A and B are shown apart, each in its own frame.
Chain A
Amino acid sequence: GAGVSQSPRYKVTKRGQDVALRCDPISGHVSLYWYRQALGQGPEFLTYFNYEAQQDKSGLPNDRFSAERPEGSISTLTIQRTEQRDSAMYRCASSLAGEGYNEQFFGPGTRLTVL
């Protein structure tokens, strides 16, 4: 596709439910990043992949959060047993390569609301 796409764009769920957020990066981009962004703040790093390998997951808040990119393209961020504090905008970005000059292209985000 022309840009990074994410789905769903909006997700409302009840506390305790699991959610899966999808990211489809720009074709050919090696690196894929997941961020969480609160209103009025910069992106907060969660995790990133080079191809299918998860390079760094130090930003994941706790073990309810996990991510995968099994074929080195589409990625899924899964939040288990959601809590109200998980409500946020979740953004995905991709770049040609993970090192050096690596302009990141962002997707439109998924707005998650946990009731």
Chain B
Amino acid sequence: GQNIDQPTEMTATEGAIVQINCTYQTSGFNGLFWYQQHAGEAPTFLSYNVLDGLEEKGRFSSFLSRSKGYSYLLLKELQMKDSASYLCAVIDSNYQLIWGAGTKLIIKP
């Protein structure tokens, strides 16, 4: 079967750094997405990785290791508005997007 694993919930402090991990087992791999979803709102795109390595975009960075079936999202200089769920999703060999359950990130002052 296909599986995406992420921690259910994480807590971090405003101004700090947090790393949200995602491991996947899918039938094929054609890329990995990270989406942000605030409570009651639609998911919004954060990043896309298809090659190994780190992609940096402002305060957010995403890393991929295809050989390990592993990715992480790194959030720096945390702000209260970063409190949200972060969803990892993998494109499989059929170009279907397989979604994780999401990691709820709680930011404390």
Question: Chain A: residues with CB nearer than 8 A to chain B?
Answer: 33, 40-45, 56, 91, 98-109
Contact = CB atoms under 8 A, between A and B. Distances in A.
10 contacts: A40-B104, A42-B87, A42-B102, A43-B87, A45-B99, A91-B42, A99-B30, A102-B91, A104-B97, A106-B42
A13 B97 CA distance: 30
Interface of B: 4, 30-31, 33, 41-45, 48, 50, 85, 87, 89, 91, 94-102, 104
Given A99-B95, A101-B50, A107-B42, A42 B100 contact: yes
Contacts of B30: 99-100
B99 A42 contact: yes
A108 B42 contact: yes
Given A99-B30, A104-B97, 9 more contacts: A33-B97, A40-B102, A42-B99, A45-B97, A56-B96, A101-B31, A103-B45, A105-B45, A106-B43
Contacts of A44: 99
B36 to A, nearest CB: 11
Contacts of A106: 42-44
A104 B42 CA distance: 11
B45 A109 contact: no
A100 B43 contact: no
B92 to A, nearest CB: 11
Given A40-B104, A42-B100, A98 B42 contact: no
Identify the interface centre among B30, B87, B94, B97: most chain A CB within 10 Å of its CB.
B97
